[in-house]
């Protein structure tokens, strides 16, 4: 089962990257059409694709996007944990009873799952109850828990949350989520700047149409990325919940943990408490209610009860 899930997520990652590359190329070509002031879209596309006119902007965008992706892959830990104080809980170097307990729980899960790797474990200072997992590969993956989550959950509930995050790593979907988040932000930034490039001067019909398409993409692409993130993230949350129940041998700890986290958010407004938007789609609980990338707690609990 896990081999099939991992293969599906690997294929999804490759497809998502291919889609984003195609969109990047399309955006770059539109900006290049404006740059060369093409008389029509077809003439402009043909001239650029056949290199009668070198697609300078397209080439530069691909280079910049590739550089940013490589930077994120090499520094995802610092990016995701920035904005909060955090501490790595190193196995065998725990400094408190709480740290030893968390480290022991993770070690139990790793052994129960039969894994040959151990994700890094981080405790992040935050006033809200949440957790996330990330990484590009299993051997550089991490699990982060907020201090408020650790204070308010019982041992079995904490273990269920950590099993949920470990399931994300086992399923191979952390790479997919990381890529979608990074590429979506780059793409939207490029479109917004692309509209205002080469302003002024009389433009031929093709160049004006290209600018019109870029303006339309300013409204279409945010909706596209939101729908894509909702589809990918919601399916992965159900899978991780199920994976946690499988590792625990019982769905009740996961259900109790989700209920406590949901009730905690219902009592206070934490919408402005998290200053790092890059990890929003990674959390075990989605802060936003409208257009959330996460399924509702009610649906997740119902799925666990029917498991």
DSSP-assigned letters across all residues of 24-73: HHHHHHHHHHHHHT-SSHHHHHHHHHTTSS--HHHHHHHHHHHHHHHHHH
Closest to 261 in 3D by CA, of 297, 232, 235, 207: 297
In this predicted structure, the answer to whether residue 290 has a pLDDT above a threshold of 60 is no
How high is the mean pLDDT of the chain? 86
| Distances in whole angstroms, Cα of residue 66 to Cα of each of 21, 59, 94, 213 | 10, 11, 38, 24
Domain ranges of the chain: 1-82+173-306
Instruction: Report the catalytic residues.
Output: 165
Q: DSSP class of residue 273?
A: T
Q: Rounded to the nearest 10 degrees, what angle do helices 173-195 and 155-171 cross at?
A: 70
**Per mean pLDDT, which range of 47-51, 206-210, 235-239 is the poorest?**
235-239
- pLDDT above 90 covers a percentage of the chain that reads 41
* 51-60, 204-213, 218-227: segment of lowest average pLDDT: 218-227
Q: Which two tokens stand for residue 106?
A: 């993770």
pLDDT of residue 123 exceeding 60? yes
Q: Sorting pLDDT into bands at 50, 70 and 90, what band is 76?
A: confident
β-strand 120-124 against 142-146: which pairing, if any? parallel
Closest CA to 207 of 22, 31, 15: 31
The CA-CA-CA angle for residues 200, 204, 208, to 5°, reads 70
């Amino acid at each position: 089962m896990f081999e099939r899930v991992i293969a599906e997520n690997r294929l999804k990652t490759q497809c998502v990257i291919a889609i984003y590359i195609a969109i990047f190329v399309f955006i770059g070509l539109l900006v290049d059409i404006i740059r060369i002031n093409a008389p029509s879209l077809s003439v402009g596309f043909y001239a650029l694709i056949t290199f009668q006119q070198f697609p300078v902007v397209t080439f530069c965008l691909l280079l910049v996007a590739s550089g940013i992706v490589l930077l994120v892959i090499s520094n995802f830990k610092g990016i995701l944990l920035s904005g909060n104080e955090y501490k790595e809980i190193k196995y065998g170097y725990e400094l408190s009873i709480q740290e030893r307990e968390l480290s022991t729980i993770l070690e139990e899960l790793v052994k129960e799952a039969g894994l040959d790797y151990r994700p890094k474990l981080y405790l992040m200072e935050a006033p809200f109850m949440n957790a996330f997992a990330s990484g590009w590969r299993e051997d550089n993956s991490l699990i982060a828990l907020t201090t408020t989550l650790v204070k308010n959950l019982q041992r079995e509930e904490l273990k269920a949350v950590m099993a949920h995050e470990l399931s994300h790593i086992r399923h191979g979907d952390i790479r997919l989520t990381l890529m979608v988040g990074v590429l979506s932000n780059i793409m939207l930034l490029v479109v917004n700047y692309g509209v205002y490039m080469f302003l002024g001067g009389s433009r031929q019909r093709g160049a004006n149409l290209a600018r019109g398409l870029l303006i339309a993409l300013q409204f279409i692409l945010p909706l596209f990325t939101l729908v894509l993130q909702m589809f990918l993230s919601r399916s992965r949350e159900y899978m991780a919940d199920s994976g946690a129940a499988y590792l625990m041998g019982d769905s009740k700890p996961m259900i109790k943990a989700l209920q406590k986290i949901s009730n905690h958010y219902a009592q206070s407004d934490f919408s402005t408490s998290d200053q790092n938007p890059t990890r929003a789609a990674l959390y075990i609980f989605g802060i936003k209610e409208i257009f959330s990338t996460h399924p509702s707690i009610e649906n997740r609990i119902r799925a666990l009860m029917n498991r």
